[in-house]
Amino acid sequence: MPARRNIVWEINRPMSRYWSAVVHGLTPYVPGEQPKLQNLVKLNTNENPYGPSPKALEAMRAEVGDSLRLYPDPNADRLKGAIAAYHGVKPAQVFVGNGSDEVLAHTFQALLKHEGPLLFPDITYSFYPVYCGLYGVDFQTVPLTENFGIRVEDYKVPNGGIIFPNPNAPTGRLLSLDEIERLLKVNTDSVVVIDEAYIDFGGESAVSLVDRYPQLLVIHTLSKSRSLAGLRVGYAIGHPDLIDALNRVKDSFNSYPLDRFAIAGAAAAMEDRTYFAETCRKVVVTRSRLVSELEALGFEVLPSGANFVFARHARHEGAELTAKLRERSIIVRHFKTPARIAPFMRITVGTDAECAALITALKEILSA
Ligand SMILES: Cc1ncc(COP(=O)(O)O)c(C=O)c1O
């Protein structure tokens, strides 16, 4: 009976009357689908097809025990130490969070809300405008070039901050470190955030620039190249004063964003350089084979520095191909908007076998 009574309430007076005013205006991010069905070839959310480092799994198993009754280290010092050692920076230059989405959220609130508009590409990670809505950050999008590239000249205008992923998502296109440095040389009055979620699949990290450019913040995730999307760990590297701002927001929000498993597993993953290098290498090798095979089927594939490719076919729409692949239990990601990218599919680089299944299915679809 209580359920029925709820329905009557909904009709008479919407439950949203209890919402805070800000909630009415939010347009939440829509994450890629995580289907419950088994036996799918899942190439839609850029997860790594190889498992996490066995050393990370071992470190997490070792955390199962009585110590779980105690809170974790609020500063995650062990993990910050491992990240600092990997990148050759000081622990005071490192901030960690519950996935890079949380690190990004704190960054928007702590560093990117100013009088001038925040600049980011018109085609990019679609969480950025969502954070702007949540935190009331004024923003302006900057169109990508005709070839879906970022032109740094276009960002040389007054602004309250700049953010873009490198490689960009969902295009996969990479910007060189020289180009990023060219931007940093002129844009000194606001923070420049480089979201390097996919940098380990062939790009050169801007972390090497943080000691020379105090306005630079570089954000990484362990979800992609370290195969720990399920653990939720991300981090930022920058000048200690930028990190201080992030810590002030974090400690006003959640003192313990990383649990004991996350701290132990992520630290071990950062330390296991051999496994990391080998799995990244395998993804890159499979990516180049996948690109050649897609091109042989008549696809145009944008140059990718990521663990996914962005591809369109001259005679078939992205939505149509995505739906037909789905009928064959292969899931890729399609974006309806903006219109410029509607013809494309974003395909995560899976194992060789998964990519072979994709190519076989596309051959069937295209020859039907
Ligand atoms: C460009 C970009 N940044 C950040 C993220 C967030 O990653 P996570 O929250 O898993 O660390 C993603 C996830 O797909 C992404 O594509």
DSSP string, 15-43: GGGGS-HHHHT-----PPP----SS-EEE
Angle between the N-to-C axes of helices 240-250 and 99-111, in degrees from 0 to 180, rounded to the nearest 10: 100
Distance 368 CA to ligand 1 centre (A): 36
Mean pLDDT of all residues belonging to the chain: 95
pLDDT digits (tens, 9 = 90+) for 293-335: 999 999 999 999 999 999 999 999 999 999 999 999 999 999 9
> What letter represents residue 282's amino acid?
K
| 5 pLDDT above the threshold of 80 | no
pLDDT digits (tens, 9 = 90+) for 51-72: 999 999 999 999 999 999 999 9
Instruction: Name the pLDDT band for 12 (thresholds 50, 70, 90).
Output: low
> Residue 120: its pLDDT value, please?
98
In angstroms, the CA 126 to CA 49 distance is 23
Instruction: Name the pLDDT band for 35 (thresholds 50, 70, 90).
Output: confident
Number of H helices, E strands in the chain: 12, 12
User: For the chain, which residues make up each domain, given as ranges?
Assistant: 41-51+274-367, 54-271
pLDDT digits (tens, 9 = 90+) for 84-94: 999 999 999 99
| 2 pLDDT above the threshold of 70 | no
Instruction: Name the pLDDT band for 39 (thresholds 50, 70, 90).
Output: confident
Instruction: Name the pLDDT band for 30 (thresholds 50, 70, 90).
Output: confident
In angstroms, the CA 52 to CA 228 distance is 6
Helix, coil or strand: residue 345:
strand
In angstroms, the CA 344 to CA 341 distance is 5
Helices (H), 272-317: 273-296
Instruction: Name the pLDDT band for 6 (thresholds 50, 70, 90).
Output: low
| 7 pLDDT above the threshold of 90 | no
> Residue 11: its pLDDT value, please?
62
Q: What is the pTM for the complete model shown?
A: 0.95
Q: Which atom of ligand 1 is nearest to the CA of 45?
A: 14
Distance 197 CA to ligand 1 centre (A): 6
CATH code that applies to domain 54-271: 3.40.640.10
Nearest-CA residue for atom 3 of ligand 1: 197
pLDDT digits (tens, 9 = 90+) for 81-138: 999 999 999 999 999 999 999 999 999 999 999 999 999 999 999 999 999 999 999 9
- Tell me which of 34, 43, 198, 221 to substitute to probe ligand 1's pocket, judged by most ligand atoms within 8 Å of the beta carbon: 221
Nearest-CA residue for atom 15 of ligand 1: 197
CATH label, 41-51+274-367, candidates 3.40.640.10, 3.90.1150.10, 3.30.530.20, 3.30.390.10: 3.90.1150.10
Beta bridge partners of 330: 41
Helix, coil or strand: residue 337:
coil
> Residue 8: its pLDDT value, please?
59
Residues with Cβ within 8 Å of residue 274, at least 6 apart in sequence: none
Tokens of 82: 């491992």
